[in-house]
Amino acid sequence: MKLFVGLGNPGAKYSHNRHNIGFMAVDRIAEDHGFSPWKSKFQGQLSEGRLGHEKVMLLKPTTFMNLSGQSVGEAMRFFKLDSTDVTVFHDEIDLAPAKTKCKSGGGHAGHNGLRSIHQHISPHYDRVRLGVGHPGHKDKVPSYVLNDFAKAEADWLDDVMRGISDGAPHLAEGDTAKFLNAVALRVAPARSSTSNPKPKPKTETVPDLDPTDTRSAMQKLMDRFN
C-alpha cells in the first residue's frame, strides 16, 4: 500500500492558490482513476483506490499547511506504513512553472508543510516537486504562493495535472522515470509522425526534348533570348 499526500490549505479561498497545487494533483488522480469519494479522516480528507497493481490512499491534510505532518503521521501509523511508503505532492518555488521533479529524502528547504512532515514521520519519504516559479525576492514568497494561479498559467497547469494522472500508476510502482516521462509528454508533447510534412521547394521542370530539333545546344540557348 502507498500513501499519496497532496499539500495545501483547506477552504474555497485557498483552492486555486499556488500553495495548493498538491491538493490539485491528488484531486486529479482521484477523479481520473475512479477512487472512492473523499471522507473526513486523520485530520484530513481521504480517498482510496488502485493505481496499477498497487492499493493507494490519497490524503489531503486539513490542518492547514504548517501542521500537515499531524495528519500524515496519523494516517501512516494507522495503515502501518513506513515513511518510505509516503509520497508528498507539493509546490516548489525553486523550479520553473510546469517543471516537475521527484526526490527521496533530504531537507525541507523552508517549506512549512514539509517541515511539519519531517517532524512527524522523519525526512525519509518521497516527494513530487511541482514547480510554480519564484517571485524574485524571498520577502515576496508568502504572498506569491498564497495567491491564485494567473489565468495565463491555466494551460500549463492543466497539462501538468493530466501528466501526473497519466503517470500515477508508474509512480505507485516506484518507477519515477516513467512517471516523469508521462508528465513531460503532456507538457511538451512529441511532434506527431502523422503531421503534414513541409512542402518541398518547387523545381523547374525541363520540357521534353523534340527529336526533330536539330539545333545545337548553343543555338537553342541563343534562341531563348532572341
Tens digit of each residue's pLDDT (9 = 90 or more) over 14-32: 999 999 999 999 999 999 9
Q: Which domain holds residue 62?
A: 2-150
Predicted pLDDT of residue 189: 79
Q: Tell me, yes or no, whether 131 lies in a domain.
A: yes
Q: Give me the sheet containing 86-92, strands edge to edge.
A: 39-41, 44-51, 54-61, 2-6, 86-92, 126-131, 100-104
Task: Let me know if residue 114 belongs to a domain.
Answer: yes
CATH code assigned at 16 = 3.40.50.1470
Structure confidence by residue, pLDDT tens digits, 187-213: 987 665 555 555 555 555 445 555 566
In the block, cell 469519494 appears at 37
Q: How far apart are CA 218 and CA 203, in angstroms?
A: 23
C-alpha cell at 120: 512527524
In this structure, is residue 178 part of a structural domain? no
Per-residue pLDDT of the chain (226 residues), as tens digits, is 999 999 999 999 999 999 999 999 999 999 999 999 999 999 999 999 999 999 999 999 999 999 999 999 999 999 999 999 999 999 999 999 999 999 999 999 889 999 999 999 999 999 999 999 999 998 999 999 999 999 999 999 999 999 999 999 999 999 999 999 999 999 987 665 555 555 555 555 445 555 566 666 667 666 665 5
Please tell me the total count of domains within the chain: 1
Please state the pTM of the whole predicted model. Answer: 0.83
Catalytic site residues? 19
CB 126 within 8 A of CB 103: yes
Spatial CB neighbours of 40, under 8 Å, sequence gap ≥ 6: 46, 62
